[in-house]
Structure 1
Amino acid sequence: MLRQTAVNICIATGMTLVVLTAGIDLSVGSILALCGAVAAGLLKNGIALQSSDTYIGFTILGVILAALIIGGLLGWFNGFVITKFKVPPFVATLAMLTIARGFTMLYTKGQPISNLGPDFAFIGAGSFLGIPVPVWIAAIVVLVAVIITRQTRLGRYIYAIGGNETAARFSGINISKVKMIVYSLAGAMAAVGGIIVTSRLDSAQPNAGASYELDAIAAVVIGGTSLSGGRGTILGTVMGAIIIGVLNNGLVLLNVSPFWQQVVKGGVILLAVIIDKLDKKE
């Protein structure tokens, strides 16, 4: 269960940071797919520079860093568009969802990149001290996010912006800088999820990560984070992700149709948002 939930925990943790600023990121699933595909492609094929007859190979650490950088840059671009051009987060990240998915199809030519080797597969399928490696990775991501939100100035700024952006601006907080950092972190955490998914499947699928953003948003709102921003915790999101994981597994074990599963998850998200709105009115 935890191995299956680890990817959503990573994505939802980044989503929580975004939602705390009263934003939203619909592009995390596509960023996951693109970063996973790039990691697989670099690991298997490297970079061949035909003009200079040069070949650049990549180690596992190298492809992980490359994926994290790409994810962070795509997230930064989301934040840049949102803050520089005042584009609503919903629209900006929806555009990135399509752009990143298109780049994934172009990079993979619509075909999976497979047979990545046992060392890379260990990331998604291996265990350390009896605990699956993806769970360790998710725990590290959560720990970093908890430290950011509870122990750093950035965390205080995130909550301040979500609570009242105008007041935060008058307090001297650089709103644009904080938002770009937050969206960059969300992109990097989506890249972590992409590495886990690609490693676990031993293949980078062009359509990987489809609808993952919905599960992430569901985990965030079920975990008690307000979509209006300024209120919520990372640990609450972890609990929300586990609940979504249990729900998904339960529906599968009950042989519920995949189409009805989407209906149920959509209803859960709607119910969580309604409860949040009613709670705020009280």
Structure 2
Amino acid sequence: MRKVVQSHATEFALLAVIAIISLFLSLVTDRFFSLGNVFDLLNSSSVNIIFAVGLLVVLIAGGIDISFAVAASVVQYVTAVLLGWMGGGGWISGLLIAGLIGILLGAINAFLIDRFRIISIVATIATFNIYFGLLMFFTRGVSIYNLPDWLTAHVVLYEREMADGSWIEITLPVLVMIICVIATWFFITRTTTGRQLYAFGDNPEGARRFGINITAMQFIAFGWLGLMAGIGGLIQAHYAQEVVPNALYGRELDVLAAVVLGGARLGGGKGSVLGCVLGVLLISITQNGLNLAGVSPFAFKMIIGAIILVAITLSNTSLEKLLPFMREGGRK
């Protein structure tokens, strides 16, 4: 039991922080702990969680990518245009197109990093600006509102009428998010390739000497993030029922902070899907609670930044230091 707790210290620390913040927010506003607000949190956090599990794979492999949110915006727009040319398409064709375009954009990052030996954050800063510049140049910042009916149709997975006559619901983005989370968990924990990604991120030179294909690791990691960015971009278009070229601009730093908050190491070789999801939820819960409490949006970043610092400090502190009695008990 003690080993299990130690191996998941980050997740337990995040759960503790989430519990404390939730308790505080429930005292500040009576709407925070309502079932409707919980469902709203799930629906609104789904796209960020999809992005986060994709970014987790890149961080595990020792890379950093800040271009994925802009790449998702490119995917949104190109997919919407292609679907228009096809006469509308459907969910299968839409996800295939979005996924393939996302993988292509991720592969471009991997190619630059592997072929020219460019540091990943530098390469993705470059592609971030290239993707966004091209998107705004060709679209002129014009949004697409005329989307296929299947993409804008409101898909409800579960709904319930409340005592006051209002309806609460869980929608399609939550289902897609769950599928992406499970797929990523299975990929990094139950496949040989996933274990190789951990080994590569932890010790690239050792992995190379062991026979792991370094080039393949780069393309797989950034390709997986590209796939998640493509899916997330399409789901965002479904959720917003429109395609706005700069709608996802700036989201990359929030997602990166959440994934690191969830225990992913910037140097690679460490990270879990559960921690990643908890990191996103911690930030979403805090922003949601502050909004319900009437706190100015200008204070969001400051307060979120302070919470991230505290949570990361707790996450990086060994459980034995936080609970000395466990260490003493282990010596007896």
State the match for 1:70 in structure 2: 101
Deviation at 1:137, TM superposition (A): 0.1
Deviation at 1:259, TM superposition (A): 2.6
Aligned pairs, how many? 269
- Normalised to the residue count of structure 2, the TM-score between the two structures is 0.76
Task: Give the 5 Å matches for 1:178-257.
Answer: 178-257=217-296
Distance 2:257 2:312 in 1: 9
Change (3 A) 1:135 1:77: same
Q: Which one-letter code corresponds to 1:203 in the other structure?
A: E
8 Å contact kept, 1:40–1:198: no
- Normalised to the residue count of structure 1, the TM-score between the two structures is 0.88
8 Å contact kept, 2:88–2:148: no
Q: Which one-letter code corresponds to 2:89 in the other structure?
A: T
1:33 to 73, 77, 95: 73
Is residue 142 of structure 2 the alignment partner of residue 102 of structure 1?
no
Q: Which one-letter code corresponds to 1:94 in the other structure?
A: I
Distance 1:96 1:257 in 2: 33
Percent of counterpart pairs with the same letter?
36
Instruction: Please give the root-mean-square deviation of Cα atoms over the aligned residues, in Å.
Output: 2.0
Deviations 1:115-135 (A, max 9, x none): 31432123xx42125431101
Distance 1:159 1:25 in 2: 17
Distance 2:314 2:287 in 1: 21
Q: Secondary structure at the match of 1:78?
A: helix
Distance 1:42 1:270 in 2: 43
Distance 2:81 2:310 in 1: 41
Q: Which one-letter code corresponds to 1:128 in the other structure?
A: L
Q: Secondary structure at the match of 1:204?
A: coil
2:62 to 18, 22, 38: 22
Q: Which one-letter code corresponds to 2:62 in the other structure?
A: A
Distance 1:69 1:179 in 2: 17
1:137 to 143, 161, 176: 176
Distance 1:108 1:214 in 2: 24
Distance 1:69 1:13 in 2: 18
State the match for 1:85 in structure 2: 116
State the match for 1:150 in structure 2: 189
Distance 1:251 1:176 in 2: 44
Deviation at 1:23, TM superposition (A): 1.1
State the match for 1:57 in structure 2: 87
Q: Secondary structure at the match of 1:87?
A: coil
Q: Which one-letter code corresponds to 1:145 in the other structure?
A: T
Q: Secondary structure at the match of 1:114?
A: coil
State the match for 1:111 in structure 2: 142
8 Å contact kept, 1:159–1:230: yes
Is residue 41 of structure 2 the alignment partner of residue 10 of structure 1?
no
State the match for 2:18 in structure 1: none
Question: Which structure 1 segments of 5+ residues have no match?
Answer: 47-55
8 Å contact kept, 1:78–1:93: yes
Distance 1:230 1:80 in 2: 21
Q: Which one-letter code corresponds to 1:106 in the other structure?
A: F
Deviation at 1:270, TM superposition (A): 4.4
State the match for 2:205 in structure 1: 166
Change (3 A) 1:117 1:73: closer
Change (3 A) 1:43 1:107: farther
Q: Secondary structure at the match of 2:110?
A: helix
8 Å contact kept, 2:202–2:269: yes
8 Å contact kept, 1:28–1:213: yes
8 Å contact kept, 1:37–1:107: no
Distance 1:91 1:276 in 2: 28
